[in-house]
Structure 1
Amino acid sequence: MGIRYYAYAFDSDQTRKALADPLTVIGSDPLADACGLEPGFTQGVTDFRQSLPERDLLYLDKAWPYLQWLTAPRSSGAAARAAYRMFEGQVTYADDGFTWRPWVRALPPHDVALIARDLETINGHDIKAGLSGAQSSGQLLDSELAYATAFLYKARAFVHAVASDRRGFAYMIG
């Protein structure tokens, strides 16, 4: 199945609870939420429309490492972009790499506003230049660039809406 990225928006009055335990605002079955299936599904039929409105759930599939790379510090000692806060993190592997524990974080409304402003400044040139070193070969396929760009714009729309409503969000990489 692979490691994926999910973000759930929460209202500002839930900030303290979300910061203390981000899993309190993350759905019990994020993949089911993202794919429009019942939580705990083992088989089913879906039209792949999210169970939650797009203003409440962001699903970045497996594009998050590209967006992490795009917003990360460019060199040791350099500062990360403000948007990096929403993509930062890695799973913790266990059982000799056969299982993992997800990375979770909650971002309060004031951080979301900073992230939204930063995401608005990233343009097509920045994406291509920023992702040029994302692959070990140094070559990013056009299809990978298009994939990452589409999900960046989806992330931008989600964060803009969350910031406009003065909400926060919790995310999980796992």
Structure 2
Amino acid sequence: MGIRYYAYAFDDELTGYALADPRSFIGRDPLADAWGFPPGASSWTGITGQALPERDMLYLDKAWSLLQVITRPRLLGESPRPAYRMFEGDVAYCDLGWDPWVRAIAPEEVASIADDLDSIDDEIIRTALSRRSDSDIEYACDYLTIAKRFVRGLAADGRGFAYLIG
């Protein structure tokens, strides 16, 4: 199945709870939420699309790692782009697979992330992904557009989000 990215929005008044326990803001079955099937379903029939409104959930499939490459520091000692905060992390591998990475982003961080995402243009993407195929670049661009829309909406509403890579 692969390692995927899911983010769930939360309202400003829940920020303290989200920062203390971001996992509690992640859906019980994120893939079901993203693909629109009942949690725990053993059959993939009846997929209807994302179960939650786009303003409440972001699903980046496996593109998170490409978006991480675009936003991470280019040189040793260089600071990452503000948007890297929303893609940073990786699973912790263990004997039985992996443990997910989970983080909460406070509402006051969201506007700078949104502004940074908006500043990422085709040249930045192509430079960062220069060793990737055209299909990888297109895949990253498609999901970057979705991420921009999600984060820009959160910034407008004064909301934060918790995300899971796993």
In the alignment, does 2:146 pair up with 1:148?
no
**Which piece of structure 1 moves more, 24-33 or 41-50?**
41-50
CA distance in structure 2 between the aligned counterparts of 1:49 and 1:4, rounded to whole angstroms: 16
% identical aligned pairs? 55
Q: TM-score, normalised by structure 2?
A: 0.97
Q: 1:1-174 residue pairs with structure 2 within 5 A?
A: 1-95=1-95, 98-132=96-130, 139-174=131-166
Q: TM-score, normalised by structure 1?
A: 0.93
Gaps of 5+ in 1: 133-138
Does the 8 Å contact 1:7/1:59 carry over to 2?
yes
Gaps of 5+ in 2: none
Does the 8 Å contact 1:35/1:46 carry over to 2?
no
Number of matched pairs: 166
CA distance in structure 2 between the aligned counterparts of 1:102 and 1:44, rounded to whole angstroms: 23
Deviation at 1:48, TM superposition (A): 4.0
SS at match of 1:46: coil
Does the 8 Å contact 1:34/1:48 carry over to 2?
no
Letter in 2 for 1:161: G
Q: How much is the aligned-residue C-alpha RMSD, in angstroms?
A: 0.9
Deviation at 1:44, TM superposition (A): 4.0
CA distance in structure 2 between the aligned counterparts of 1:90 and 1:114, rounded to whole angstroms: 22
Letter in 2 for 1:156: K
CA distance in structure 2 between the aligned counterparts of 1:42 and 1:165, rounded to whole angstroms: 36
Cα-to-partner distance string for 1:94-129 (whole Å, 9 max, x where unaligned):
10xx41000000000011111001111111111111
